[in-house]
Amino acid sequence: MDLKVVDTNGKETSKKVTLADSIYGIEPNDHAIYLDVKQYLAAQRQGTHKSKEKAEVSASTRKIKKQKGTGTARAGSLKSPVFRGGGRAFGPRPRNYDFKLNTKVKRLARKSALSHKAKDGNIIVMSGLDFSEPKTKEFMSVMNNNNLAFDKVLIILPEDNKNVYLSSRNIQGANVVTADSLNTYDIVNANKVVITDAAIEKIENILN
């Protein structure tokens, strides 16, 4: 697939890039995308939820009432879950929600997500995306020039660029990542994927 490279002013340049069919032209595997997104979101969960159970509640251990003759159920402790202020039965405990996913499945998921975007015409290759200093106004100007101001945009850079990142930080819907930290969730969550021309080769090296 051949795409024209655009500049930060939204105009087509004389350059063309060829997107590898092995990454942007495969038959998408939606189940692989589902698994990778599920694993990514699971890994974001803190899992620090905790409630006190019967043995952990601070309360008197005296016998509440006599065992027999009251006409009601026997009760031996104020810590019981049936009483107000007692421990919770089968409450949440700290746990890790992350699960293992094979590297090949994760790679297939990223390829599938990129293929979906390419098939729908939602991939833009851009050159010259760099700022001499952090300027939100300049970044917003680039978005407006390319009709991206009202879209969720994922911008993929070849390497860390502090000025671009800081310029985009206050823009709702803009997400800047590097090629080596690209994940399926970010691709699927974006309406448009902007790849800098220098990042094309790096993505191909990682996914192939």
What residue spans define the domains of the chain?
A: 2-46+100-207, 51-91
Q: Give the global pTM.
A: 0.83
Tell me the CATH architecture of domain 2-46+100-207. Answer: 3-Layer(aba) Sandwich (3.40)
CB-based contact 136:159 (threshold 8 Å):
no
Question: Using CA atoms, how far apart are residues 153 and 168, in angstroms rounded to an integer?
Answer: 10
Reading the block at residue 172, the tokens are 């709702």
Q: Residues for the chain: how many in total?
A: 208
* Residue pLDDT, tens place only, 139-193: 999 999 999 988 999 999 999 999 999 999 999 999 999 999 999 999 999 999 9
Task: State residue 1's pLDDT score.
Answer: 81
Q: Give the number of C-alpha atoms closer than 13 A to the C-alpha of residue 191, restricted to the C-beta side.
A: 9
pLDDT band at 3 (very low <50, low <70, confident <90, very high): confident
pLDDT at 60 over 90: no
